Structure 1
Amino acid sequence: MKISLLGQFGSGNSGNDGSLEAMLIYLRKLRPDAEFLCICSNPAVIEARYNIRCMSVGGPALSAPWARRLDRLLLKLPRRLALLGIAIAQLNGFDLMIIPGTGILDDFQENAFGWPFVIFCWCLVARLCRTEIAFVSIGAGPIKGRLSRWFLVSAAKMASYRSYRDDYSLEYMRSLGVDVSRDHRYPDIAFSLPLPACGPEKSAGEGLCVGVGIMRYRGWQPGESHADAIYENYIRKISAFTNWLVAEGYRVNLFMGDVTDQRACDDIVDILANTVAKADWARVEIASGGGSLHDLMKRISTVDLAVVSRYHNLVCALKLGRPTISLGYARKNDDLMRDFGQQQFCRHIEAFDVDGLQNLFLEMLDNREAIKHQISLVNERFQSQLLEQQQILGKQLLSAPPV
């Protein structure tokens, strides 16, 4: 069986790569005979990490200066036509194309001819090549650009299997005219990844550690007119909250979920260097950017509570049973917290205030044992649901043909 996997993999986002890994673990278990092709952002990274054949999602880059100039003059039409030809050649003979997890059906920080067009293009080619298409536990919406919406809805309608990681995504696609009567609702596939090995036990005198997930957030749309003000406001507030945690005697672990978050972490550290007493710096640990979801889970496994913004930071914290506050930038965070019965601990990344966040943290701290119990119950249900989806995929799309 020949299976392609499509997504923004290898770009430095740990959540995207974790979704790919979770799907590969399942596929290799069910179909060890399968031949894989990953169509992704950075083939070299994914090829080395997962030992599968890869190609660039946009096809080969134009190397000659004159070709690049001509492509720009013609609004990149030559390269887009070339991509269609390359895609047909690559997908010909493939049985299945899977888009595993991620918020693939939204236009966060994208214009229409970015990922919305790419997804549409590859799905169109798959249909032309009679390759089945499956969107598995994906996130959808919002899609604010009209042309982006057309590309992504058209791509979704070409699939023979669709499942969504939250109710909002399913209802959003219904509102855009997609027939969801045969679609499914299953948790994010990253919840099926194996847990990290337990680290050494903390000593009694170490005190509580709080994980703070940093994000370089500049608004929803690329080129947002108030992007600098949004970013600076977030950096100022999360720095003040982190400074308060240290002053209250907590240990703090700063971590990220994407290589682009390194800039935000550096800016926060610069502020903390002027506000945190030198004697307290030993209680602040700072992660480097990038890494896998396994690296992220290992780091989160060392904290007692968490405050995060990125969706897959939230997934990891809840998967590990950590009481968590979500400073989300999209509905997906709120829906996941609601699934875990933790909706009271949601705030928007642009709207939270420092005093309110401090009070919310203290409320979570007082109730952390009951919260951990509630989270554990939902994690058990999620594992059962993901196993159910694997069985459906195996039966509908991955079963071996009769001999």
Structure 2
Amino acid sequence: MQNCKRFLKQEPVFVIAAVCAVVSMLWVPPSAQYLEYIDLRVLELLFCLMAAVAGMQQEGTFLVLSQRMLAGRKSSRLLTLSLVMLPFFASMLITNDVALITFVPFAVLVLQLTNQIQRLAWVVTLQTIAANIGSMLTPVGNPQNLYLSSFYGMDAPSFFAVTIPVVALSFCLLAICCLWGKNRQIEVRFEHKEVIRSPKRLTVFLALFGLSLLSVLHLVGSHLAFLLTVLILLVADRSVLKKVDYWLLATFVCFFIFAGNMGAIPSVQHFLGNVMERNTMLCAVASSQIISNVPAAVLLSNFTRDAKGMLLGTNIGGLGTLVASLASLISFKLYARTPQAKLLPYLGIFTAANVAMLVLLYLFAAICL
């Protein structure tokens, strides 16, 4: 029983996805057609990216870079800006989840060292927004981008034409937020200096990450990239294979089945088709607030060919409620573990900042894009 409770706490999204998939089977019984629902390319790319990033994280890559950027004397505003922009830019390549797992604990450490722990809720909120919106820029920044770019077959120019304006505006808005508040000079000194554990292994992981990017850009087949990644890791460092989030892959399989079954039910197909036809972006934003943006992307993509609306809706829709993006839940859990955590004030700050950013970016996208 305790193991079940622990699993529910650790993997609530997978459990929900599995339940949805099983329930949908009552209307569409299991058959060979289920295999057509599953986008194998997305699963292979997710695996390759997660493995490469896990390897780089294991070698201390991101913490070494962070320490070098932040060490020394600087203003408190510049420190806040640096802590927020780290996940903003990192999420474009290592995903929003990994960026927050890496940089939220780092922010806690830095703010403790500089006696600014009272700013923690504000900084973590901005880091969460930064990771969610920064990850929008690239196809590898978050799971919904990877899925949507593959599902709609978007090429690089059409993809970036949608994402760059929103991310650029977000950068400006986040910078303004970081410069809010009193400013003072502080000294950042780290008691423990991080080092790259094995430069040779890091080189391997960087090469695998490059291979993953080539596969995302359709320059290398996903099957080949997957096989090479597995074989190289078996030789170089098989422990990294244990650090891949297989439950995330299983979650995607469940959502593929659920979305495929929903699309096979005529009444659901008719209803969602009509709703999506009216305003794809708004529907994606609204759905994300309730079921999170990744499930919304998988479900709604079956009922529209509006790739632009889906891309904007599921990424901007990652702002707003705490459940709109799984990355937001990760940062909330990390914040809650700190001794100085004040959960209700944090939720108030988080919701106000996220809703404000959601409204601004939605209006910008609706009017200008």
Shorter-chain TM band? under 0.3
User: Which structure dedicates a bigger proportion of its chain to strand?
Assistant: 1
TM-score w.r.t. structure 2 length? 0.23
User: Which structure dedicates a bigger proportion of its chain to helix?
Assistant: 2
Q: Return the index of the structure with the highest Cα Rg.
A: 1
TM-score w.r.t. structure 1 length? 0.22
